[in-house]
Structure 1
Amino acid sequence: MKLSEGVEAAIHCATLLAQLEEGRTMPASALAEYHGLSPSYLLKHLKTLTAARILESVSGPHGGYRLARSADAITLLDVVLAIEGPQPAFRCAEIRQRGPGALEPEVYAAPCNINAAMLRAEQAYRAELRKTRLSDVISDYLGEADPRALAFSCAFVARNQRPQG
């Protein structure tokens, strides 16, 4: 299964925004700079996360983005579904009913076993993402990260967060 780069960007941006002080925001340009991404590319994903109520967009001179709810209340599945959509990764096109060996449609009344297996795998994958909160990812990172990376991240957030409007 391959997820888009947008999922990675969305999760990283959300974890960075979780570091903001209460009521503060960070501009999209700073998020793009921090992650080495094109601002226009990232803005598309930030708008999607805002529409999904994962992020909140604040307009005005002190505007920017912040989490719409606590990092404890956002799961990785929330982010993946916001960026990728709710459709399963595997979509059975019933190719077993095509080609020279295809029989009458009633022969294929039973569900496709391949589709069933793929959907079970998708359910397991989504269950894991559903139980993993953004706060879990942050906590794991804080316990394992190089202190230099933590120091840089904290300093970047402190420099780039905007005051309450």
Structure 2
Amino acid sequence: MKLSEGIEQAIHSVSMLAGLAPGGLLSAAALAEFHGVSPSYLLKHLQALSQAGILATEPGPKGGYRLARAADAITLLDIVLAIEGPQPAFRCQEIRQRGPNPLPQRYFAQPCGISAAMLRAERAYRDELRRITIAAILADLTVSDDGGITARGCAFLERHGRRARSTTE
């Protein structure tokens, strides 16, 4: 199975936004700069994450993105579904019923064994992605990081982070 580049970019972006201080925002341009990716391509994925309720946005030249919910409430499956859509990776086209010398329909009363196996695998894959939160990924990073990765991200957030407008302004 091949997932789009957008999945990696989305997961890294959500992880970075999890490091913002309360009330903080980060622009799409800053996220793209930090990850060395195309701003227009990343923006498409940030919009999908916003539509899925994973990110919140503040419009305008001083606006940006932040998490819409806590990092422990965002799973990898949430992100994959936001970017790739809910369709299963394998979609049976019932090709067993095509070709020369077609068989009567009674031979196809049961679902295709290949399709059933692929759907079981898809369920297992999705169950695993559902189990892993952004908070868990960040916790794993703190175990393996000697401080360099965290320092790089914190320094970048310090330089590029923005404050959300107050609702009383």
Q: Which residue of 1 aligns with 2:53?
A: 53
Q: Which residue does the alignment assign to 2:19?
A: 19
CA–CA separation in structure 2 for the residues paired with 1:95 and 1:146: 53
Residue 161 (structure 1) aligned with residue 154 (structure 2): no
Distance 2:164 2:28 in 1: 16
List aligned pairs for 1:135-150, cutoff 5 A: 135-150=135-150
- The whole-number CA distance in structure 1 between the counterparts of 2:111 and 2:164 is 55
Q: After TM superposition, list the pairs within 5 Å mapping 1:1-165 onto structure 2.
A: 1-165=1-165
Q: Deviations over 1:86-136 (max 9, x none)?
A: 010000001111122431223211110000000000000000111111100
Secondary structure of the corresponding residue to residue 102 of structure 2: coil
Task: Tell me if the contact between 2:48 and 2:82 (Cα under 8 Å) persists in the aligned partners.
Answer: yes
- Answer with 8-17 or 97-106: which moved more: 97-106
Which has the higher mean CA deviation after the structures are superposed, 58-67 or 34-43?
Answer: 58-67
One-letter amino acid of the counterpart of residue 143, structure 1: V
For 2:149 and 2:135, the matched residues in 1 are separated by 18
Q: Runs of at least 4 residues of structure 1 off by over 6 A?
A: none
- The alpha-carbon deviation at position 72 of structure 1 amounts to 0.7
Distance of 2:76 and 2:31 partners within structure 1: 19
Give 3-state SS (helix, strand or coil) of 2:23's partner. Answer: coil
TM superposition score normalised by structure 2:
0.94
Unmatched tracts of structure 1, length 5 or more: none
Aligned residue pairs, count: 165
Tell me how far 1:82 sits from its aligned partner. Answer: 0.4
Q: 1:67 & 1:155 partners in 2: Cα distance?
A: 19
Worse overlay, 134-143 or 96-105? 96-105
SS in 1 for 2:130: helix
Question: 1:61, CA displacement in angstroms?
Answer: 4.0
Task: Determine the C-alpha separation between the residues in 2 that align with 1:38 and 1:123.
Answer: 32
Identity of aligned residues (%): 59
Measured against aligned partners, the alpha-carbon deviations of 1:138-160 in whole angstroms (never above 9, x if no partner) come to 11112112422221111001111
Task: Quote the Cα distance in structure 2 between the aligned partners of 1:102 and 1:92.
Answer: 18
- CA RMSD in angstroms comes to 1.1
Alpha-carbon separation, structure 2, partners of 1:58 and 1:31: 15
Cα separation, 2, equivalents of 1:102 and 1:96: 9
